[in-house]
Amino acid sequence: MADFVTIKIKDTVYKLKKSFRGLYLFEEMTGIPVPEMADTTGNMLKMFYCLLQGANKDTFLYSFDDFLDVLDDNENIVEDFNKYMISLSSPIQEQKKVPKKKR
């Protein structure tokens, strides 16, 4: 599992990292506690935006609307985000597949 990945938007490389700052920004933006987050496109895009903001607070200066415009022109960026988020959950999924030993 990668601690972070890099995402290139236009000519700038940003760090994408799941962090308390990013999660806090998501909750502030949406009013939804992260554990109660519904699996919707809107929430996913807002989480992506907030994690980028949290990891690049001085350099990621896009408004959410401008960010959506960038995504519309570069769909591969969303695919990179999805792969990163899946990589965060993979160890949990792998643990579920390991059969438990009987005592």
DSSP, res 76: H
Question: For the segment 5-17, what is each residue's pLDDT rounded down to a tens digit?
Answer: 999 998 999 999 9
Q: What's the number of CA atoms in the CB half-sphere (13 Å) around residue 29? A: 22
Q: What per-residue confidence (pLDDT) applies to 92?
A: 45
pTM higher than the cut 0.75:
yes
Backbone angles phi, psi at 95, to 5 degrees: -65, -35
- Can you list the alpha helix ranges (DSSP code H) found in the chain? 20-30, 41-55, 64-73, 75-97
b/e per residue 79-99 (b: at least 16 CB within 10 A): ebbeebeeeeeeeeeeeeeee
Pick the more confident residue, 66 or 94.
66
Q: Domain residues of the chain, as ranges?
A: 5-90
pLDDT tens column, 36-80: 999 999 999 999 999 999 999 999 999 999 999 999 998 899 998
HSE of 44, CA atoms in CB hemisphere, 13 A: 14
